[in-house]
Amino acid sequence: MVSYWYAHQFIAPRGEAIYQSVSDPDDSFYVAKNRQLLNAKIAAHYTIRQDIEIGARFEGYYDILMKHFDYSYGLYFIFNHDFKLATLGKKKHKKQEKEE
């Protein structure tokens, strides 16, 4: 997927910081009256077994006005099966079960 973003004095207090015209106060503060970004994203999922998948993604962001490229990537393991992590309680032996 490829997308284009244009904003004029855009502030998103609860949105993605990369799209804002004003930086976060924790960083070196700057104001960009206009923002123009090109975004490219690609993702893939592969089935290893019926209940296990592996996924990978890459996202690239290019700030046209500041001439700056940034990216993020990830690798995911997806387990689609219920499985027991532990058994709670005292386990009875077969010999004890017969006596009861």
If one counts the domains in the chain, the total is 1
pLDDT in tens, 59-86: 999 999 889 999 999 999 988 777 666 6
Sheet with 68-79, strands from edge to edge, namely 2-8, 34-49, 52-63, 68-79
Question: Within a domain: residue 17?
Answer: yes
Question: Within a domain: residue 27?
Answer: yes
Question: Within a domain: residue 88?
Answer: no
pLDDT in tens, 16-59: 777 777 666 665 656 678 889 999 999 999 998 888 899 999 99
pLDDT above 90 (res 89): no
Question: Within a domain: residue 33?
Answer: yes
Q: Exposed e or buried b for every residue in 41-60, given b needs 16+ CB within 10 A?
A: eeeeeeeeeeeeeeeeeeee
Q: Phi and psi (nearest 5°) for 90?
A: -85, 130
Question: Within a domain: residue 97?
Answer: no
Dig out the tokens for 59 from the structure.
């996202």
- Domain range for 31: 2-82
Question: Within a domain: residue 57?
Answer: yes
CA angle 62-66-71, nearest 5°?
A: 30
